[in-house]
Amino acid sequence: MSCVQEVNPRVLAIRAPTSLQSMAKRITDEITQGAKKPFSKVIDLSSCDPHRTGMAPISFLRQVLAGCLYPELLEEKSFPPDVRQRVHKLLDGCGGRSAGAYSPTSTGIPDVQRSVAQFIMKRDGGVSSDPENIIMSSGSQKNLSMVVHLMASGEGETQTGVLIPVPCPHTLPMLLDMFGVTVVPYQLMEDRGWALDVKELHRALRTARGCCSPRALYISNPGNPTGHVQDRKTIEGVIRFAATEGLVLLIDEVNQDSVYGQDKEFISYKEVLFKMGKQFSETVELISFNSMSSANMGECGLRGGYMEVVNLDPAVCYQLKKLQWGNSPPTTPQLCLEVMVNPPSPGDPSYETYAQEILHIQTTLSQNARRACSFLNDLAGMSCQPAMAGVFLYPRVRLLPQLMEEATLLGVEADVLYCQRLLEEEGVCLGPGCENGQEYLDHHLRLCVLTPPLILEEVLARLHSFHLRLLGKFP
């Protein structure tokens, strides 16, 4: 058996849709039509969509967005002065001073690109950031799609391969598969809080060579769905590995604003790279991603994101930008991204409200994560590593042999069957670990904890009832 065949079974499960979303919609429709259920509504915490579950948006952002879309509102003087000033500034960068105009360039609105570059420089302690290297799009997934599309080539041993973590973001394997890229999984260390081990990167690369052509290494930091935050030593090791092996670093940093673990801090790969000397800072190719779906903003439906390219060949950058010619990034999400990277400052009229709202979000997230982790570790047959950041918990669940046998007969993954039963019986939709790349017999659940505390408590109560009922059914 070739090593490609050995790798592929690890990702077969995540390439197959679980149909949980369609099940949730069907059950919701049945409730709407009057069907009697033991619950009044379906609660979906399988993905990060905090506003759907009741988390409030940031007032300043929504006020600026409203003013940009309908400037006549500013005439009423009901918005704070800094909101009106921001609206005028943003509209000055739009064609015809209208948010309905096309983006002036294929890479974004220049004023927004400059704001993003300034944000990155401030975040990274003054490391230079060129606005020309900032590419805006309709979300980080869109940006990643453009990069993968450009990388994808070859067949068999020459087919592009990308190293990805296991567990990984549940949308990633399908995206890579769509462009005909070989998935090369590397395992994160659950017993070490889902840490990344550079030795495992070497093992994954050895397995892949001769079966595909590995060209990139995908990193999620802070981790999705693990919540792990990488330290400087780990990042330096990964950069050295990428430099030695000639791999492009694809760094997902969407959760950078959501670190709450004690004595933990977010350090960007770019900052570390540029402090390792010219041997690395001028040679290692790096692309980092961020988006409006971050924990603080939670504006998933606005679909706004950007990527920064570092050390890429100018011809490659040209081709990346060319992919958006005639299909420029949407304007409205860019205006919101500008607010995300350039929020109110101390002394501004909107600052106090903004700071209070951000504190509420961060407090809710950290308290919910601790509460849910403690609950899951007290539940028979479950264990959960504490998260340090991000919006998910990723507990391990020991499924009983009877349930696994039933899943085999039904032709589904056992953790999918668990989630289907939980949805049918308790109206709770969680994500099965197979979507995140977990292997057969290694079962996990994905639970978003960025939700109002009362909603989380209801989910935990329903999960407790279902899980104990399941244990009673299969003693």
Read off the pLDDT of residues 82-110 as tens digits, 9 standing for 90 and up.
999 999 999 999 999 999 999 999 999 99
Instruction: For residues 324-330, give the mean pLDDT.
Output: 86
What is the share, in percent, of the chain residues with pLDDT greater than 70? 96
Tokens encoding 93: 């960068």
| Average pLDDT score, the chain | 93
pLDDT score of 203 more than 60: yes
The rounded distance, in Å, linking the Cα atoms of 44 and 242 is 38
Q: Provide the pairing of β-strand 305-310 with 134-137.
A: antiparallel
Write down the architecture of domain 3-55+355-473 according to CATH.
Answer: Alpha-Beta Complex (3.90)
Q: Which of 188, 186, 184 is nearest to 159 (CA)?
A: 184
Q: Which of 55-59, 346-350, 467-471 has the lowest mean pLDDT?
A: 467-471
Per-residue pLDDT, 475:
59
Confidence of residue 2 (pLDDT cuts 50, 70, 90): very low
Which residue ranges make up each domain of the chain? Answer: 3-55+355-473, 92-341
Confidence of residue 13 (pLDDT cuts 50, 70, 90): very low
Q: Write down the CATH number for the domain with range 92-341.
A: 3.40.640.10
- Pick the more confident residue, 245 or 473: 245
Per-residue pLDDT, 438:
82
Per-residue pLDDT, 474:
67
Confidence of residue 17 (pLDDT cuts 50, 70, 90): very low
The rounded distance, in Å, linking the Cα atoms of 286 and 54 is 36
Within a 10 A sphere around the Cβ of 373, how many other Cβ atoms? 20
pTM exceeding the 0.85 threshold for the entire prediction: yes
Per-residue pLDDT, 419:
97
Per-residue pLDDT, 19:
84
pLDDT score of 442 more than 90: no
